[in-house]
Each structure stands twice: as C-alpha cells, then as structure tokens.
Amino acid sequence: MPGWHALTKHYEEQGQLKVVGVIQEQHSDRARLFMQWKEMGWPLLVDSLNLLGVSGAPITLFLDEAGVIKAINPKRGALSEFLGADPVGGAAPIWSGASRTALLAPVINDELATADQQFLWGGLDGVTRAISGYQKVLLENPNHAEAQFRLGVAYRRRFDGERREANDFSLAVTHWGNALELNPNQYIWRRRIQQYGPRLSKPYSFYDWVHTARLDLREQGVEPIRLSVEPGGAEFAHPSAGFEVRDVSVENPDPQGRIFRDSENLIQIDSVAVPSRLRAGEAVRIHLRMTPDEKKKVHWNNEVEDLKLWTEGVADWQIQSRFHRYSVPEQAVTVEARTVEFELQAPEGTPPGIFTLRGYALYYICEDVGGQCLYRRQDFEVPIDVVN
Amino acid sequence: MEIHTKFSGLMGRLVCLVIISLGAKTSAAGLKTGELFPFLVLPRAADGKPDSLQSYRGTKTVLHVFASW
C-alpha cells in the first residue's frame, strides 16, 4: 500500500486521479491510525460487513471515469498507461448533485439488505435491529453464510458499545465460526476468528505496527488517532504489554477459599472461549472481561495492589499460566473494563464434550452507594466445547 | 446436532469445490474487469458520513481494498 501511495500521490495532487480505500476490518479506527501514520490522506470507506464480498485483501482496482473496472491487481507499472488512456466518451463528465442522485440504483428490498442498512446507518438501535434481521434470515436458512458472518459482526459491534448485552462477543464468535464452516475459503471471515483466537502455529502480527505508529507520530508532534478498542491477545505476534504473565510456579493465592465472595456481583465477569468449538489437540483462547457495576456506582480501588486471577486449568490440558495479574492504572480510582486473556490446549485424544475451566479473580473495589471499599473474590466457570 | 455439523462440513466442501471449478479469482470474487464497480454506499471512516465510489465518477480512480493487518 505505501508503495502505491508513493506512486499515486503526485497524480492525486494534480487532480488526475482519485485514490480511495475500502476496509473490511471490525474496528475501522485502526485503519485510520495506519493511514495517519503512513500519511495517506485519501478517503477510506468502511465495509465491516464485507458487502463487497471479497474473500481476501489486499486487492487494487483501476476504475475508469465511468466506474468500469479496468484492472484487478495491476502491476504498479501499469498506472501510467491507465492514466494515459482516453476518458470514456471524450471529456470527463461533470456531475451535479442531481445527476449523482439519479445514479442511485434501486436497493434490493429484502430482510438481509434491510439488516445491512440498519447496521450501517441506524446507530446503536440499528445494530440491535440488524441483529434481529440477520436472525430472521437465518431462521429461514441457517446455511446463509453471509448472514452468519454479518450477524457476528453486528454482535461484536454491540459488544464494543454502550448497549452491550450478555454473550454478545461469544455469539459473535459462534456465528463467525458457522460462517467459516459454510465457506472455509473466506479469508476475511477466517481472520476475524484468528484475531480473537489462540496464537497461530505461525503467529500473525495483525496489529504489531500500532506501537511503532504511535511512537513515530508522537515523535513528529502528532497525536495518534485514539482507538476505541485496544488490540490485544492474538492480535499481536508477541505477548501484549498490557498483561504480564508472572512466574508459573506461583501458588494458588486463596487455596482455602477464605476471601469473602463478591456475592452481589459488584464486578460482572463475562467469559468467551475462541473458537467456540475446538477439536482434540487444538488450542482455545479464553477472554475474561471484568466490569464494575454502573448502577451501584462501583469503581476499582487502585491504591492497594493488582487484580489477581487464578485458574484451576482443565484436567491434563496445557495452560499458558494459571496465575495472572492485571496491573492497575496510576489513577487512584477507575471504572474501566479489565480484560484478561490466556490460552489452553486440549491434548490429543480428548473426547468430545463440554469441559469446564474454573477459576477466580481477587480485586479491590469501592461502591459509592454503601460507601464501602472491599477486597473480594469472585469464582467463574468457562464452558469449553470439544467436538469430533 | 451431529448431523447438522456434518452437513455443514459437506456444504463447506461443496462451496470450496464450486469455487475451484469456476477457477474464479477468489480474492476478488464478484469483481470483474470490464464491469461496473458495484453500487455500494458505505460510511467514511473519518466522519461516518455516507460515501460511495459513484461519487468519484468523472475521475480515474485507484481503489485499494485492504486491511491494516
């Protein structure tokens, strides 16, 4: 991409050429940060649902003045010939607003298309309406692979926003899995699961560039575009800096279970296993998300010590680490959602069935309603589905 | 449940076979040289406003379908 940019920049400035980008990523602000870093100022359109239907990226297209595709994945050397070609029908047409409106093709009016438009333009309510729409499509035809993928995208979008509902992320992963099973050659879909899933045998550096981009931009005195969701886990080819895995010999911090339980769920723990179904010999990535209860005005108390997390593991499965520590922020009091991720591997020969990962978190919180600061333990269970 | 899983797996293989037998450029499925780029209105990353490739007609365009990963 940067190579193309260096080549087209001049023609773009001269008004001879327009450069446009389309991305299928779940979080578009990451692509914006990439473009800010690479000083690529052209318009970027967001196609998280993959309405364009591409099964991989990158793809470069030459479009003529009329919007006709002249070349797919051309060599860079072909640009001058493309620019030299006569415009369609002589001079380039000048479009007024009215004529542009006339170009609007009739939109296919069915459940799927309606759900797509709700997702794109309906704001937070639209995402929930899109979820219902895709569900209706799948009720009629569970093998509608596109609807499966788009439903996953919509669930994940809602998970990242203020209207998050229980299981949104886990449902996203399930539907992405269904879509990929229906069409295993869809690379865009495969990447969605991989980015949240276990480290690949050959780790893929989805977002390792983010760190360098931020450093470079700050060095130039430019404030990097803020990301709504920080990349983490398998999105980096190396362990993420936000979560430190300590000495594996650390012992269970509360073996007798003497710490008082958070019986009121002042902290809500959501768990997701990615992929949602695995086979013997495969790995699974566990995402745990801990959120203070907003209604009870609960906040983290950061003045004591780090949040600790202990897991029992599953039978003879390999586990990255049983003990995890979430380093608390510098501010005395915060309300952020805290995520902890780690991986397990089912040994060869694991029979199909539901396996349960048990563990608990230890944390310091304060609640404004009762005015108390507490040290609490919360136990959790994560079901892991092993299939044939 | 098991039957459904097996059926889905078979469907997946069928889809795969169809794609291979057509010899299609799988990465740019649906996009063909000589045809109009599909009509698609999408949000601009910068401000969320609707935009489409149609609004750039009249000018030659290089379109990059890409990912920052």
- The CATH number for A73's domain is 3.40.30
What is the predicted pLDDT for the residue at B27?
A: 52
Residue B38 lies in a domain: yes
Q: What is the mean pLDDT of chain B?
A: 71
A26 neighbors A192 (Cβ within 8 angstroms):
yes
Within this chain, do residues A97 and A6 fall inside the same structural domain, yes or no? yes
Residue A147: give its domain's CATH number.
1.25.40.10
Within this chain, do residues A135 and A182 fall inside the same structural domain, yes or no? yes
**Beta-carbon count within 10 A of A100 CB:** 14
Within this chain, do residues A65 and A119 fall inside the same structural domain, yes or no? no
What CA–CA distance (Å, rounded) separates A238 from A243? 12
Residue A225 lies in a domain: no
A364 neighbors A304 (Cβ within 8 angstroms):
yes
State the best of B10, B13, B66 to mutate against chain A, taking most chain A CBs within 10 Å: B66
B8 contacts in chain A (CB < 8 Å): 143, 178, 181-182
**Between A313 and B27, the higher pLDDT residue:** A313
End-to-end CA distance of chain B: 35
Q: How far is CA A277 from CA A156, A204, A285, B6, in A?
A: 18, 21, 11, 14
Residue A65 lies in a domain: yes
Residue A211 lies in a domain: no
What is the predicted pLDDT for the residue at A3?
A: 87
Rg for chain A, CA atoms, rounded: 24
Residue A235 lies in a domain: no
Within this chain, do residues A71 and A168 fall inside the same structural domain, yes or no? no
Residue A323: give its domain's CATH number.
2.60.40.150
Q: For residue A362, list its beta bridge partners.
A: A308, A377
What CA–CA distance (Å, rounded) separates A157 from A11? 37
Given a cut of 70, the residues of chain A with pLDDT beneath it are: 86-109, 199-203, 238-249, 369-370
What is the predicted pLDDT for the residue at B28?
A: 60
Work out the pLDDT band at B6, boundaries 50, 70, 90: very low
Our measurement of the distance from residue B30's CA atom to the centroid of its chain's CA atoms, rounded to an integer in Å, reads 6
What is the extent of the structural domain holding A189? 111-196
Burial letters for A15-25: b for 16+ Cβ neighbours within 10 Å, e otherwise? Answer: eebbbbbbbbb
* A102, A128, A147 - which closes a domain: A102
Cβ separation B59–A65 shorter than 8 A:
yes
Within this chain, do residues A177 and A285 fall inside the same structural domain, yes or no? no
Burial of residue A247 (CB within 10 Å: 0-12, 13-18, 19+) is exposed
Model pLDDT for residues A233-267, shown as the tens digit of each residue:
788 775 444 333 445 567 888 999 999 999 999 99
Within this chain, do residues A345 and A290 fall inside the same structural domain, yes or no? yes
Within this chain, do residues A156 and A278 fall inside the same structural domain, yes or no? no
What tokens does A57 get? Answer: 């990226």
State the best of A8, A19, A23, A76 to mutate against chain B, taking most chain B CBs within 10 Å: A23
Within this chain, do residues A56 and A120 fall inside the same structural domain, yes or no? no
Within this chain, do residues A84 and A157 fall inside the same structural domain, yes or no? no
Residue A262 lies in a domain: yes
Cβ separation B43–A82 shorter than 8 A:
no
Residue B9 lies in a domain: yes
Helix, strand, coil shares, percent, chain A, to 5: 30, 25, 45
If one counts the domains in chain B, the total is: 1
What is the extent of the structural domain holding B24? 2-56
What is the predicted pLDDT for the residue at A203?
A: 67
Q: Number of CB pairs < 8 Å for A and B?
A: 226
What CA–CA distance (Å, rounded) separates A72 from A63? 9
Within this chain, do residues A69 and A152 fall inside the same structural domain, yes or no? no
Cβ separation A25–B19 shorter than 8 A:
no
Nearest C-alpha of chain B: how many angstroms from A280?
A: 16
What CA–CA distance (Å, rounded) separates A133 from A254? 47
Within this chain, do residues A247 and A382 fall inside the same structural domain, yes or no? yes
Phi, psi dihedral angles at A154 (to 5 degrees) = -70, -40
If one counts the domains in chain A, the total is: 3
Percent of chain B exceeding pLDDT 90 equals: 49
Within this chain, do residues A275 and A370 fall inside the same structural domain, yes or no? yes
Cβ separation B42–A209 shorter than 8 A:
no
Instruction: Of A160, A158, A167, A161, give the one whose Cα is nearest residue A128.
Output: A158
DSSP class per residue in B4-58: HHHHHHHHHHHHHHHHHHHT--GGGTT--TTSBPPP-EEEBTTT--EEEGGGGTT
Residue A273 lies in a domain: yes
* A83, A102, A121 - which closes a domain: A102
Residue B23 lies in a domain: yes
Residue A379 lies in a domain: yes
A205 contacts in chain B (CB < 8 Å): 69
What is the predicted pLDDT for the residue at A98?
A: 38
What is the predicted pLDDT for the residue at A238?
A: 59
Residue A170 lies in a domain: yes
Cβ separation B12–A184 shorter than 8 A:
yes
What tokens does A161 get? Answer: 């926003």
